[in-house]
Chain A
Amino acid sequence: MAVETTAPVDDRRWLLARLDGKYTPYLIIAPFFLVFGVFGLYPLLYTAWVSLHDWQLIDGDQGFVGLDNYAALVADANFWNALGNTLSLFVLSTVPQLPAALGLAAVLDRGLRGRMFWRAGVLLPNVISVAAVALVFAQLYGRDFGIVNYLLGLVGVDPVDWHTETWASHLAISSMVMWRWTGYNALIYLAAMQSVPKDMYEAAVIDGASKWRTFWAITVPGIRPTILFTVITSTIGGMQLFVEPQLFDPGGTATGTGGSDRQFQTLVMYLYEKGFRLFDAGYSATIAWVLFLVVLVIAGINFSVTRRIASKG
């Protein structure tokens, strides 16, 4: 894009260069928006359209019903139950997860022996297929022959029915989510920490600041945008939690209710049950749209809260 300044300026060339500078960036980002339009925006709008109809999965449109699906959803106890479960699982898995990731990243940021090994290691749980993780966790949390219950038995605790009790199932599923995502977030924090200017740490050391104080006064504010980013992505992921609880359900997708009492059915599981087992696509689309709005609201709250906390430090 270099414009020749030494040679006499050729009008046409000048014009081309101007156009180039003006429009090329748009051309370069255009494919993303094109793909987003086809695979993101169009389904989003189409889902909204479907949600305004009595729409059966196989037989299609059965007539326009306006906001009836939304009215039914608001009065649907199963929906509120699923929303409650989703929030509970989100809080149980994300709130301990991000501080743990931050701590892990801080440790990895030090000069450890075999640094590469540890850094690759924390990502490992995320690389392993989620199906395999679910198999292992189902084994760990088995009621009769599970290892967790065996260990609890050693300290005199009665066996817990991990799939049946509401809190037990939430804890078990959250542990699966944490196992998969803590390392991933730690690596993102680590990458951000390494771009914090080293001279700031040196200045802090000269001022006699403790490690703890340095961490809170320099590291955390230094990676604030990254923390905001992980909070947002974790919120979106947490609110759309599906695979872990679905695989944790011994009934599988055949029932799809997240336990006999819907004790760990998340919003997306409910969406799947309605749309793909009960074939009520209209209602399913309604859940999808309400979920979208819920994610927007919660992500917005988290964004403002995190920004305030991070700027205090």
Chain B
Amino acid sequence: MSRTLVGRAAVAVVAALAVTGVAACGGGTSGVDGGKIKLSIGVFSDFGYDSLIKEYQAAHPDIEVEQRKVKMEQHHTQLATQLAGGRGAADIVAIEEGNVAQFRQSKDKFVNLADYGAKDLKSQWAAWKWNQGTADDGAFVLGLGTDMGSLALCYRRDLFEAAGLPVDREEVGKLWPTWQDYAATAQTFTDSTPNVKFVDTALNVYKAILDQTEEGYFAKDDSYIADKNTKVSDAFKLAAALGEKKQTGALAPFSQEWNVALKQASFATTTCPAWALALIKAGAGDEAAGKWDVAAAPGGGGNWGGSFLAVPKQGAHPKQSYELAKWLTAPEQQKRIFKETGNLPSEPAAYQDPEVTATVNEFFNKAPVGQIFGNSAESLQPTYRGTKDSKVTPVFSNALARVEQGKQSTSDAFTQALKEAQDVAK
């Protein structure tokens, strides 16, 4: 979900405190008070739970719910320290897709939701979403899926027009059935308008390609395979070639400079999961309304992001926590959250709902985002995330960045990345 620069700043400051040991523990607030059961739920950015929680409290007079909102990076670090300390975590915690594999490794710190009947809910979710939240071949249910990111490609209509490319979203989608076609389009674009970058960063192209393969850095038995998986090197080379040809802006995704570049219209396309629409809109500003549009992503479908609700074992009320998590992630609630915040539902009953599919986004030239993102998620074959995926990923991101910045050749960067990844994956 949203990662803003101010958020990053806050993260760094809190990190500084954590390093000096000040923010060691938050202290749990859950308990029974005056006959009321107090539950806490820890989320990051906007999960759209404000009004839902009020409604839940009204329907359950014996339960009081406290919502804690923290920025994303900080949220997961904080959760890790709270699990380590054995106290301070909320009764229900949100975990983002990129981090869930890492916490799966410490699943004994969480309640197995299957003990409370979670397996009966399995059919609610897209199969891949359900699987991401489970461990031990589905025997251990770690978390219930909230939203999903899905994947599309956002492009600037005026810049495409200037480069002599089609602007209609259907036709733009037809330009790039595969990522090779996308790279070819980049070449056409650069040939006619060499002063504008085709894409903001090679990093996100790489991530999108890799997330469309069944196995990335790790095989399904969690063994490290990045050094022999040609899918990894192919994706790396394709993205790095964009960087070597200076067709990327070499921007850190969602950074301050990325926002400035959006405002200055200095790049023409960017990979966009559903949650990125709000970031693009905020960065580009109102004067860019109608200039951005949403097309299908190359390679057929994809997912980036989305979260799960898990229940740490240290909480006092696992049963009540599970009930609340179950209610919050049910299709009716997901649909309402979509209408309120735009967070895309991860359950067919919600994302195939006519009300959702009919939703258009005014800022993005009235693109039917409900439909585009729903279709993309439907055809999705998600990649397997190893427990050490979040440790290996930055190594390859840095390598790509070095190529974009002209510091290293593609092969040198890739060789160095493999060596470093080997170290963190062992």
> Which residues of A pack against B, CB within 8 Å?
39, 43, 57-60, 130-131, 134-135, 138-139, 142-145, 161, 164, 242-243, 246-247, 250-257, 260-261, 268, 271-272, 276-279, 281
Contacts and interface: CB of A to CB of B under 8 A. Distances in A.
Given A43-B21, A260-B402, A144 B260 contact: yes
Nearest 10 pairs between A and B by C-beta? A250-B252, A131-B9, A260-B401, A250-B255, A255-B394, A252-B8, A246-B12, A260-B398, A58-B106, A164-B405
A242 B256 contact: no
Contacts of A144: 249, 257, 260-261, 264, 266
Contacts of A39: 21
7 contacts: A58-B109, A242-B12, A247-B9, A247-B12, A276-B80, A277-B390, A277-B394
B360 interface: no
B80 A252 contact: no
Given A138-B256, A260-B402, A57 B6 contact: no
A60 B13 contact: no
A278 B257 contact: no
B256 A246 contact: no
A13 to B, nearest CB: 46
Interface string B1-20: 00101101111110110110
A58 B401 CA distance: 30
Given A144-B257, A254-B394, A134 B9 contact: yes
Given A57-B81, A131-B6, A135-B9, 6 more contacts: A59-B84, A59-B106, A144-B257, A253-B12, A254-B73, A279-B102
Contact of A272 (B19, B80, B249, B424): B19
A261 B109 contact: no
Contacts of B102: 279
Nearest to B404: A260
Interface residues of B, number: 48
A253 B257 contact: no
Nearest to B266: A144
Interface of B: 3, 5-6, 8-13, 15-16, 18-19, 21, 73-74, 77, 80-81, 83-84, 102-103, 105-106, 109, 249, 251-252, 255-258, 260-261, 264, 266, 390-391, 394, 397-399, 401-402, 405, 407, 424
A290 B300 CA distance: 50
B376 to A, nearest CB: 24
Given A135-B5, A278-B424, A252 B21 contact: no
Contacts of B401: 251, 260
Nearest to A134: B9
Contacts of B391: 277-278
A151 B181 CA distance: 40
A271 B11 CA distance: 15
Given A247-B9, A257-B398, A260-B407, A58 B16 contact: no
A59 B84 CA distance: 6
B84 A255 contact: no
Contact of B257 (A143, A261, A279): A143
A251 B84 contact: no
A138 B9 CA distance: 11
B19 A145 contact: no
A255 B106 contact: no
A122 to B, nearest CB: 23
Given A144-B261, A145-B264, A250-B252, A57 B84 contact: yes
A253 B256 contact: no
B424 A253 contact: no
B285 to A, nearest CB: 14
B135 to A, nearest CB: 15
Contact of A243 (B16, B21, B249): B16
Contact of A164 (B11, B81, B407): B407
A161 B105 CA distance: 39
A278 B8 CA distance: 18
B12 A261 contact: no
A261 B109 CA distance: 35
A254 B401 CA distance: 14
Contacts of B73: 252-254
A261 B407 contact: yes
Contacts of A130: 13
A242 to B, nearest CB: 5
B405 A252 contact: no
B6 A60 contact: no
Given A43-B21, A257-B394, A279-B80, A247 B8 contact: yes
A104 B202 CA distance: 47
Contacts of B84: 57-60, 281
A242 B106 CA distance: 29
Nearest to A274: B424
Contacts of A59: 84, 105-106
A131 B10 contact: yes
B256 A250 contact: yes
A58 B397 contact: no
A276 B261 contact: no
A268 B258 CA distance: 27
Contacts of B18: 276
Question: In this complex, which of B12, B13, B73, B394 has the most chain A Cβ atoms within 10 angstroms of its Cβ?
Answer: B12
Nearest to A142: B257
Contacts of A277: 77, 390-391, 394
B77 A145 contact: no
Question: In this complex, which of A60, A134, A257, A276 has the most chain B Cβ atoms within 10 angstroms of its Cβ?
Answer: A276
